[in-house]
C-alpha cells in the first residue's frame, strides 16, 4: 500500500529494506524512454553528424557513461544512503556542499527542459495553446509523485517502461512506413568532431544521473549483490536511452526542420490518427513524469543534505518536506517558461556544460569508494563535521577544482571554444580529459590523505534514531 515516505537523508535500516534489483531496471528503462532522450539523440544529427555515425557514437557514449552511472548505483544497497551524502566521505561534511550546489542546478535544468516538452504534449491533449497550462498540470503531477516518494516513483517507472516499449516501438514502425529512412542514412563521410559530439551527448546523458542514482537503490536489502544492482541499472538505463536516441537521430535525419521547429507536434503527426496521437502524447507525459520526479525528489534530498551540513541535525515535518519539493518544482516551472524559445541550443550546451562539473565529482567518488576506501565508510561520521571526515577536505576540493579547470582548453561551447578544441576540428573531448586527470590525481592525493576505517561502520540503533530526520523531535 502506498504511503508518504518518511525517510529522507538518514540511513535506511535493514528492517525497512525491500525489493529486488529488477526494480532498478524498470525505473531507469522507463526514465530513459522519453521525449528529451529523443531530442538528445537528434542533436547529434542536427549539429552535423550522419545518422549512422551519430547512432554509433551515441551507443559508445551511453555504454561508457552507463558504466560510471551504474557503479554509483551499486553503492546504494551497501550503504543505505542517498548518493550525495556519501560524497561527504570525500569532500568533508560541509565541503560536499560545493558539488551539491551544482547538483541542484542540474536537477533544475533537466526538470525545466523536460517540462517544456511535456507541457507541449499536455497542451495538445487538452487542446489549449497557453504554454503555462501544460507546465502547471505537469508540475502538479510531479509534485504528487515526489511527495509520496520512493515506492510510487518505482511504480511510475514500471508504468513508463511498458508505455515506452509500446509507444516507441509503434513510432519506429511508423517512421519506416512514412519515410525512406535508408535514403537518409550513411550519406555523409565520417567526421571526428561530430562523432565525438555524439559520444559526448550519450555519455553526458548517463553521467548526469550519477549524483542521484543511489537514491533509488538504497532501499534494496544490504545483502543485494553489487554486480546484480550494477547490471540491472546499467542495462535499463543504456537500453532505454539508446532506443530513444536512435529514434531521435533517425527522426532528425528524415524530418530536418519539420522536427526542429515542433518536436512534440511532429511526434503526434508521425503517430497518425488523432486518437493514436493523443495516446502517444500520454506516453510522452508518462516517460517525462518518471524522470522529472527523480529530479524533484533528488533536488529536495540535495537541498536537505546541504542544509544539514551547516545546521547539524535538522528535523523537518512532513509539511516542510512537501514544501521543499513544491518550491523546487515551482522554480523549475519558471525556468521552463523562460527557456522554451531556444530549447535545442540551450539543451545541448547545458548537457555539455554539466559534463565539465560532474565528471570530476564522479571520478573522485568512485576512485575513493572502490580503490581507496574499498567500500569501507564510517557512516555515522558522515553526519558529524567534527568526525572522521571533518568539515572540509581541502585536498579533495583542490583536485575537484583542478578536474574542472583542466577541461577548459578542450571545451566546445557556444560562448567559448578552447584552443585545443580548435586544433581538433571542434571535437569536444573535455569529459575524457577530466575523467582521466581527476581519477589519476585523486588516487595519488587520496592515498596520502584519506584514512578509511578498517571495515564498514554502520550506525547503532541509538545513532539511527539520533540521525533520523522526522517530525517528532526528541525531548
Percentage of residues in the chain with pLDDT exceeding 90? 46
Task: Report pLDDT for 254.
Answer: 92
Q: Is residue 390 part of a domain?
A: no
Find the mean pLDDT for residues 411-432: 75
What is the tens place of the pLDDT at every residue in 24-39?
999 999 999 988 899 8
User: For residue 472, what pLDDT band results from cuts at 50, 70 and 90?
Assistant: very low
On the question of pLDDT at 372 being above 90, the answer is yes
On the question of pLDDT at 467 being above 70, the answer is no
Task: Report pLDDT for 132.
Answer: 85
Q: Is residue 239 part of a domain?
A: yes
Give the domain range for residue 324: 22-342
On the question of pLDDT at 273 being above 50, the answer is yes
User: For residue 9, what pLDDT band results from cuts at 50, 70 and 90?
Assistant: confident
What is the tens place of the pLDDT at every residue in 161-195?
999 999 999 999 999 999 999 988 888 888 888 89
For 412, list phi and psi in degrees, rounded to 5. Answer: -135, 85
On the question of pLDDT at 426 being above 50, the answer is yes
Task: Report pLDDT for 161.
Answer: 93
Q: Is residue 250 part of a domain?
A: yes
Task: Report pLDDT for 443.
Answer: 96
Here the CATH number for the domain that contains residue 325 is 1.10.4160.10
On the question of pLDDT at 353 being above 90, the answer is no
pTM of the shown model: 0.90
Length of the chain: 475
Answer with the residue of higher pLDDT: 412 or 364: 364
Find the mean pLDDT for residues 106-129: 86
Q: Is residue 453 part of a domain?
A: no
CB 299 within 8 A of CB 108: yes
On the question of pLDDT at 316 being above 80, the answer is no
On the question of pLDDT at 471 being above 70, the answer is no
- The number of beta carbons lying within 10 Å of the beta carbon of residue 448 is 9
**Of the candidate ranges 219-223, 265-269, 312-316, the one whose mean pLDDT is the lowest:** 312-316
User: For residue 142, what pLDDT band results from cuts at 50, 70 and 90?
Assistant: very high
Cβ contacts of 313 within 8 Å, gap of 6 or more: 383, 466, 467, 469
Q: Is residue 14 part of a domain?
A: no
Task: Report pLDDT for 466.
Answer: 61
User: What's the rounded Cα separation, in Å, for the pair 366 and 473?
Assistant: 35
CB 326 within 8 A of CB 102: no
Find the mean pLDDT for residues 284-288: 92
Residue among 373, 370, 24, 363 nearest 210 (CA) = 363
User: For residue 5, what pLDDT band results from cuts at 50, 70 and 90?
Assistant: confident
Q: Is residue 363 part of a domain?
A: no
Task: Report pLDDT for 93.
Answer: 92
On the question of pLDDT at 412 being above 80, the answer is no
- The number of beta carbons lying within 10 Å of the beta carbon of residue 415 is 7
Q: Is residue 4 part of a domain?
A: no
Q: Is residue 124 part of a domain?
A: yes
Task: Report pLDDT for 468.
Answer: 56
Number of domains into which the chain is organized: 1
Task: Report pLDDT for 39.
Answer: 87
Find the mean pLDDT for residues 81-95: 90
Task: Report pLDDT for 165.
Answer: 94
Set of cell numbers at residue 344: 535545442
User: What's the rounded Cα separation, in Å, for the pair 269 and 267?
Assistant: 5
User: What's the rounded Cα separation, in Å, for the pair 415 and 397?
Assistant: 26
Set of cell numbers at residue 385: 563535521
Task: Report pLDDT for 461.
Answer: 63
Find the mean pLDDT for residues 384-394: 91
Most confident among 293-307, 346-360, 407-421 (mean pLDDT):
293-307
Amino acid at each position: 500500500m502506498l504511503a508518504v515516505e518518511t525517510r529522507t537523508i538518514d540511513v535506511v535500516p535493514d528492517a525497512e529494506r525491500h525489493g529486488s534489483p529488477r526494480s532498478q531496471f524498470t525505473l531507469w528503462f522507463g526514465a530513459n524512454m522519453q521525449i528529451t532522450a529523443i531530442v538528445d539523440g537528434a542533436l547529434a544529427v542536427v549539429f552535423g553528424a550522419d545518422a549512422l555515425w551519430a547512432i554509433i557514437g551515441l551507443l559508445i557514449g551511453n555504454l561508457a557513461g552507463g558504466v560510471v552511472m551504474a557503479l554509483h548505483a551499486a553503492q546504494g544497497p551497501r550503504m543505505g544512503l542517498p548518493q550525495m551524502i556519501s560524497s561527504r566521505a570525500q569532500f568533508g561534511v560541509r565541503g560536499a556542499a560545493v558539488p551539491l550546489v551544482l547538483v541542484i542546478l542540474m536537477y533544475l535544468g533537466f526538470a525545466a527542459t523536460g517540462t517544456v516538452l511535456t507541457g507541449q504534449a499536455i497542451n495538445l491533449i487538452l487542446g489549449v495553446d497557453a504554454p503555462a497550462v501544460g507546465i502547471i498540470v505537469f508540475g502538479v503531477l510531479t509534485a504528487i509523485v515526489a511527495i509520496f516518494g520512493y515506492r510510487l516513483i518505482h511504480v511510475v517507472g514500471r508504468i513508463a517502461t511498458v508505455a515506452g516499449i509500446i509507444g516507441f516501438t509503434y513510432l519506429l514502425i511508423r517512421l519506416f512506413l512514412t519515410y525512406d529512412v535508408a535514403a537518409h542514412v550513411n550519406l555523409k563521410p565520417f567526421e571526428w568532431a561530430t562523432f565525438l559530439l555524439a559520444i559526448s551527448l550519450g555519455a553526458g546523458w548517463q553521467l548526469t544521473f550519477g549524483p542521484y542514482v543511489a537514491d533509488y537503490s538504497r532501499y534494496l536489502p544490504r545483502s543485494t549483490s553489487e554486480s546484480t544492482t550494477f547490471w540491472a541499472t546499467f542495462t535499463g538505463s543504456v537500453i532505454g536511452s539508446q532506443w530513444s536516441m536512435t529514434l531521435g537521430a533517425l527522426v532528425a535525419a528524415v524530418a530536418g526542420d519539420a522536427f526542429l521547429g515542433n518536436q512534440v507536434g511532429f511526434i503526434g503527426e508521425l503517430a497518425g490518427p488523432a486518437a493514436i496521437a493523443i495516446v502517444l502524447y500520454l506516453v510522452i507525459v508518462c516517460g517525462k513524469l518518471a524522470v522529472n520526479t527523480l529530479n524533484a525528489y533528488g533536488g529536495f534530498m540535495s537541498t536537505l543534505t546541504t542544509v544539514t551540513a551547516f545546521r547539524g541535525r535538522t528535523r523537518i515535518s512532513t509539511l516542510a518536506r512537501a514544501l521543499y519539493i513544491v518550491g523546487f518544482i515551482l522554480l523549475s516551472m519558471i525556468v521552463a517558461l523562460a527557456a522554451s524559445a531556444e530549447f535545442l541550443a540551450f539543451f545541448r550546451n547545458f548537457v555539455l556544460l554539466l559534463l565539465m562539473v560532474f565528471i570530476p565529482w564522479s571520478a573522485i567518488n568512485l576512485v575513493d569508494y572502490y580503490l581507496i576506501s574499498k567500500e569501507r565508510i564510517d557512516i555515522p561520521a558522515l553526519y558529524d563535521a567534527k568526525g572522521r571526515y571533518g568539515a572540509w577536505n581541502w585536498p579533495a576540493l583542490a583536485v575537484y577544482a583542478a578536474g574542472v579547470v583542466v577541461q577548459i582548453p578542450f571545451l566546445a561551447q557556444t560562448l567559448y571554444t578552447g584552443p585545443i578544441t580548435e586544433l581538433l576540428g571542434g571535437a569536444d573531448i573535455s569529459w575524457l580529459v577530466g575523467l582521466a586527470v581527476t581519477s589519476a590525481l585523486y588516487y595519488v592525493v587520496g592515498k596520502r590523505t584519506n584514512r578509511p576505517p578498517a571495515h564498514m561502520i554502520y550506525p547503532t540503533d541509538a545513532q539511527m534514531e539520533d540521525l533520523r530526520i522526522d517530525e517528532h523531535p526528541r525531548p
